[in-house]
Amino acid sequence: MSTPATEGDYMDSRVIRVSRKRQITIPLKFYEALSLGDQVECSLEGGEIVIRPLRRTDDEFSVEILKDLVSKGFSGDELVREFEAEQYRVKKAVDRLREEADRIADGVQPASRFDDIFDSED
């Protein structure tokens, strides 16, 4: 298993080809040094694309799900059953969003515009 990267490891750089689908391949050395999984966080910061390991866990969703279910009065075994069902629904919804994002990135599906979603019917 690889060890996490240290500050000094960030001085290495590579030129990476961008495919026609706007995709890149992360060099294995970088992938292993950062212990990347099948998803990364990508952001635009000061005119640069920054790719970071995704550190979000299911715990973030779990706490919110539990708070909601407790506020609805669930407890004990019923809380556990409802939590598992809600957690399953959230994971399915996130999977659908990821699939849609992939289709948009591949040019198969057009992206929705802000006005398409929030335009008033006046």
Domain at 20, CATH number: 2.10.260
Contact residues for 74 (Cβ-Cβ < 8 A; gap 6+): 82, 83
Claim to verify: residue 92 and residue 106 sit in the same structural domain? yes
84 and 113 in a single domain? The answer is yes
Binning pLDDT at 50, 70 and 90, where does residue 73 land? very high
Chain mean pLDDT for the chain: 82
What's the domain count of the chain? 2
Q: What stretch of H or E contains 30?
A: helix 28-33
User: Residue 27 is encoded by which pair of tokens?
Assistant: 């060099």
List of long-range contacts for 65-70, beta carbons under 8 Å, 24+ apart: 65/90
Q: Are residues 62 and 107 in the same domain?
A: yes
Residue 93: band (very low, low, confident or very high) from pLDDT cuts 50, 70, 90? confident
Given a cut of 50, is residue 90 above it in pLDDT? yes
In a domain? residue 86: yes
Q: Based on the fold, state whether residues 63 and 100 are members of the same structural domain.
A: yes
Triad 62, 65, 66: Cα angle to 5°? 85
- 1 within domain boundaries: no
